[in-house]
Amino acid sequence: SATGIIRRQPDVLLHRRPDDITALVALQARLLDALWPVLRPGGVLLYSTCSILRQENQQQVARFLARTPDARIERCRKASAMQWMAPASACRASTAVTVSSMRGW
């Protein structure tokens, strides 16, 4: 939804409607569900958004964990193999969540 960048790009408010959020939350859920089966056993999925909305962040992750029994939440590791994908600042953001696969363990 880009609500996390409103301070720097206030025109986001002009382009977003309430219905957009519902559609984006559904799209994010479909993306998570589609990516999870192709993640290797023991793999890590980094979920990060440019949003300050709970339904795109905490609630989205909670719903994903509820419907994905072989997933668990981890602390975001700053010094890891995935550092090239996510800057250290992403690990400090409340919108960055690392979810690990427990399949095959």
Q: Which residues are catalytic?
A: 50
Nearest alpha carbon to residue 97 among 28, 46, 29: 46
**Residue 11: burial class (beta carbons within 10 Å; 0-12, 13-18, 19+):** exposed
CA distances (Å), 80 to each of 23, 49, 67, in order?
33, 20, 27
